[in-house]
Amino acid sequence: MTLRMPGHGRMHRGWFALLLLAGCSTGSAPAVRRDAPGVNIADAALDGGMPDTALNVTRSILQSNPRDVGALERQGAALAQMNQPDAAMEAWRRALAVDPASAPALLGLGRLELSRGSTAEAEQSFTKLLVVKPDDRAALNDLGVALDLRGRHDAAQAVYEKLLRLDPGDRAASVNLALSLSLSGQAGRSLVMLRGPGSQPDATPRVRQDLAVALALSGNPKEAEKLLLTDLSPGDAAAALAGYQALDATTK
């Protein structure tokens, strides 16, 4: 599993592995293009890495229409980018109060719940989104992560397998499936899936860390630590290894 969500340096180290597992590239939900005046400006600002501008635009829209779902969705995304998770969650909850099927709000809320360890709540958010959009790849991937973190590995693996049927080249789903197999005691299958790519001379640090997680979960901490030391300081490698082992303990 390679939960790739931001902010892992600020989390309890027991969640370090969690934040390496999954294909979440950002903590905010992707915007859904709607026709509300000014919303396209907020979209452009978010896409350009200017959340403060997006926040100002959404505030202006909401002054005249406090129930504008598109503005609330983007306000949540902007606040999440600005590392204000409580305010982001409030914006997304306001959006859901108006439109319970808002996909961006459900995805954003679920990701913040997941990052806080509220896995049951995250599962609920992703499941609600998938009722509306059954093949939403981001929600499927994140649901798999939530299920794995709740120790429901068979269900998580079924989700990753569905993702791979939708897109056989989905690397996040492939890695998450491999690490879910490790968590469920199928280390041999997991290592077969990860050892080849992770052992290549041109492997990226991310790919090596994926393999290190699998090695640690399969009872090979020394080999995992050796691999981590390729890219990390001894202190960071030790902290990462402790995080992987803590993840294993919490998902049994």
The stretch 130-151 carries a mean pLDDT of 93
Q: How confident is the model at residue 240 (pLDDT cuts 50, 70, 90)?
A: confident
Q: How confident is the model at residue 249 (pLDDT cuts 50, 70, 90)?
A: low
Task: Quote the pLDDT of residue 252.
Answer: 64
Task: Quote the pLDDT of residue 100.
Answer: 96
What's the 3-state SS for 92-118?
HHHHHHHCCCCHHHHHHHHHHHHHCCC
Task: Quote the pLDDT of residue 156.
Answer: 95
Query: Per-residue pLDDT for 126 more than 90?
Result: yes
The stretch 193-199 carries a mean pLDDT of 79
Q: Is 196 exposed, middle or buried (0-12, 13-18, 19+ CB in 10 A)?
A: exposed
Task: Quote the pLDDT of residue 53.
Answer: 95
Distance between CA 7 and CA 136 in Å, rounded?
Answer: 24
pTM, 2 dp = 0.80
Contact 4, 172 (CB under 8 A): yes
DSSP the chain: -----S-GGGS-GGGTTGGGSS----SSPPPPP---TTHHHHHHHHHTT-HHHHHHHHHHHHHH-TT-HHHHHHHHHHHHHTT-HHHHHHHHHHHHHH-TT-HHHHHHHHHHHHHTT-HHHHHHHHHHHHHH-TT-HHHHHHHHHHHHHTT-HHHHHHHHHHHHHH-TT-HHHHHHHHHHHHHTT-HHHHHHHHHHHHHSTT--HHHHHHHHHHHHHTT-HHHHHHHHTTTS-HHHHHHHHHHHHHHHHHT-
Side chain identity, residue 147: L
Task: Quote the pLDDT of residue 16.
Answer: 33
> Which of the residue ranges 2-11, 165-174, 207-216 would you say has the lowest mean pLDDT?
2-11
Buried b (16+ CB within 10 A) or exposed e, 27-42: bbbbbbeeebebbebb
Contact 147, 163 (CB under 8 A): no
Query: Per-residue pLDDT for 144 more than 90?
Result: yes
The stretch 56-70 carries a mean pLDDT of 94
Angle formed by the axes of helices 221-228 and 234-250, to 10°?
140
Of 199, 187, 201, 144, residue with least CA distance to 2: 144
Residue ranges and CATH numbers for the domains of the chain are 1-29+140-252 (1.25.40)
